[in-house]
Amino acid sequence: MIKVENLNVWFDDGYDRVDAVRGASFNVNQGESFGLVGESGSGKSTILRAMTGLAPTWSGRIEIDGLALHGHKRNRDFYKTVQMVFQDPYASLHPRHSVDQVLGEALHLQGFRDIDTRVVKLLDDVGLDRKFRFRYPHQLSGGQRQRVAIARALAGEPKVLLLDEPTSALDVSVQAEILNLLTDLREEHGLTYLMVSHDLPVIGHMCERLAVMKSGEIVEVMDVTQLRQMQAKHPYSQELIGVSVAH
């Protein structure tokens, strides 16, 4: 479903060149949930942003659903196939748009006409009561906002969801609700997940396979049973697992 080969992403503002991602390669199969872990600044988000065309300069090869991507322009088919959920639910909703407006606009842009019925269905899908439909973001809690953001991502019935630390701004109790919701949605809609987190237990809970990143490079790709049995090969992955288990 997702194929990334030798991906390099850099930010170039004249004087300083930041090589945020260097030579990253991995594959995600149809219906799989794949995790990217690493400390902040290791380039996890940058990989997602390069896929979605939000990071302008990259080289290498990215293929999604059999289609190779080029540059930072994406077409309508891409937006129908791939959607993203952002880290901070307080920053990813327009402060002046109600839930109804947010979902209605996404549905409109995805070319649907029966917007009213679909807004209600989306709210049901993400487990939000209908009474929240006309509220504004400041009238919602963090968890409710993240549900709205997930509903927006689901509006175009995508096949792939890119999840950028979807729960790291939330309380653990709310995190559990959102992770359960994501588990359910993957089953119901047959979604493929590419999930970024700095929290190893969260990735271990959600993903079948994962890649460990350190300063822009993928140091190891392993599957979750290896992770649970602490069979990481690279010393950095071992260290990361050590810290998470000590807790």
Partner 1 sequence: MNTPTSYRAWLLTDAPTSRNHARLSSFYKGWLSFRSNPMAMFGLGILIALLLIALFAPILAPHDWQAQDLSNRLQPLGTPGHILGTDSLGRDILSRLIEGTQITLYIVTLVALIAPVAGLLVGTVAGYAGGWVDVVLMRITDIFLAFPRLVLALAFVAALGAGIENAVLAISLTAWPPYARIARAETLTIRSSDYIAAIRLQGAGPFRIIIKHIWPLCISSLIVRVTLDMAGIILAAAGLGFLGLGAQPPSPEWGAMISEGRRFILDHWWVATMPGLAIFTVSLAFNLLGDGLRDVLDPKDGDSQ
Partner 2 sequence: MTLLDVQNLWVKFPNRQGVFDAVRGVSFSLGRERLGIVGESGSGKSMTGRAILRLIRKPGIVQADHIALEGRNLLNLPEVEMRKVRGQQISMVMQDPKFSLNPVMRIGDQIMEAYLLHNRTSKAQARAKSLEMLRAVSINDPERVMRAYPHEMSGGMGQRIMIAMMLIPDPKILIADEPTSALDVSVQRQVLDIMDGLVKERGMGLIFISHDLNLVSEFCDRVLIMYAGQIVEVCDADKLHDAQHPYTQGLLQSLPRLDQPRKYLPVLQREDDWQKAPIAGDQA
Ligand X SMILES: Nc1ncnc2c1ncn2[C@@H]1O[C@H](COP(=O)(O)OP(=O)(O)O)[C@@H](O)[C@H]1O
23: its two tokens: 């030579």
Choose among 206, 64, 80, 87: nearest CA to 150.
87
Choose among 64, 191, 29, 206: nearest CA to 125.
191
C-alpha torsion sign, points 187, 188, 194, 195 = negative
**Residues from 150 through 179 that contact partner 1 (CB under 8 A):** 152, 155-156
215 binds partner 2 (CB under 8 A): no
Task: Give the integer Cα–Cα distance in Å for 226 and 209.
Answer: 9
Question: Residue 167 CA to chain centroid, in angstroms?
Answer: 10
91 binds ligand X (CB under 6 A): no
- Please pick, from the candidates 1, 2, 7, 20, the single residue that binds ligand X as defined by CB under 6 A: 20
DSSP string, 106-117: HHHHTT-S-HHH
In whole angstroms, the minimum distance from the beta carbon of 90 to partner 1 comes to 9
Residue 29 interacts with, from Mg ion, partner 1, partner 2, none (CB under 5-8 Å by kind): none
Taking residues 42 to 81 in sequence order and writing x for each that binds Mg ion by CB under 5 A, - otherwise, the string is ---x------------------------------------
- Please pick, from the candidates 12, 39, 77, 124, the single residue that binds partner 2 as defined by CB under 8 A: 39
Contact indicator for 102, 153 with CB cutoff of 8 Å: no
Residue 179 interacts with, from ligand X, partner 2, Mg ion, none (CB under 5-8 Å by kind): partner 2
In whole angstroms, the minimum distance from the beta carbon of 236 to ligand X comes to 14
Q: Which residues pair with 58 in a beta bridge?
A: 9
In whole angstroms, the minimum distance from the beta carbon of 175 to partner 2 comes to 7
56 binds ligand X (CB under 6 A): no
178: its two tokens: 């959102």
Question: Residue 170 CA to chain centroid, in angstroms?
Answer: 15
Contact indicator for 85, 146 with CB cutoff of 8 Å: yes
Query: Of 1-9, 15-23, 105-113, 172-180, which part binds partner 2 (CB under 8 A)?
Result: 172-180
Bridging pattern class, strands 192-197 and 209-214: unpaired
38 binds ligand X (CB under 6 A): yes
167 binds Mg ion (CB under 5 A): no
**E strands of 74-216, at which residues?**
82-85, 160-164, 192-197, 209-214
Binding residues vs partner 2 (CB under 8 A): 39-40, 142, 171-177, 179-180, 183, 198, 200-202, 204-206, 224, 227-228, 239-241, 243-247
Positions touching partner 1 (CB under 8 A) are: 52, 54, 76, 79, 82-84, 86-88, 91-98, 100, 105-106, 109-110, 131-132, 134-136, 138-139, 149, 152, 155-156
Residues that bind Mg ion (CB under 5 A): 45
